[in-house]
Copies of this chain bind each other. A is one copy, B any other.
């Protein structure tokens, strides 16, 4: 199975992976969420080749996660901006950041500061149940499409 075959898969996780299932893609998205929008800035922060940045940005634009916005016409120049789809990936990224901070802590790194615009405070993302509002603990979820699950 190749990359592009994944997106027709029955599983929504697989279809999401078809879009963001690559480390560079995820790191580009991370930078977008932090306000980076230009080619050379991505290159400078990522530490990977320009070819790779070019390829990933093009894929993300094609997938509708990013869009380009011209800021200068003559040598055509544009910013890469998140679409609604892209902003909605922010939650996934936040949880990934939290996992990394918890299980792969790094000495000398101050925890990442996130501020919730609605209340103005630095916060951590918490996953709660839409029905009872309580946090969803790891291991407290059962899936209906298979035998009793461990997740």
- Contacts from A to B (Cβ < 8 Å): 1, 3, 6-8, 10-19, 21-23, 26-27, 30, 32-37, 46-48, 81-82, 84-85, 87-104, 106, 109, 112-119, 121-132, 134, 136-151
- Chain B residues contacting A95 (CB-CB under 8 Å) are 91-92, 95, 127
Number of copies: 2
Q: How far is the CB of A60 from chain B (nearest CB, A)?
A: 13
Closest to A88 in B: B138
B47-A1 in contact (CB<8A):
yes
**CA of A95 to CA of B1, assembled, Å:** 24
Q: How far is the CB of A64 from chain B (nearest CB, A)?
A: 8
Q: Known contacts A7-B104, A32-B150: does B90 contact A119 (CB below 8 Å)?
A: no
- Chain B residues contacting A106 (CB-CB under 8 Å) are 8, 10, 12, 15
Q: Choose from B47, B82, B112 the contact partner of A145 (Cβ within 8 Å).
A: B112
B104-A16 in contact (CB<8A):
yes
**CA of A67 to CA of B129, assembled, Å:** 28
- Chain B residues contacting A21 (CB-CB under 8 Å) are 21-23, 26
A144-B113 in contact (CB<8A):
yes
A91-B136 in contact (CB<8A):
yes
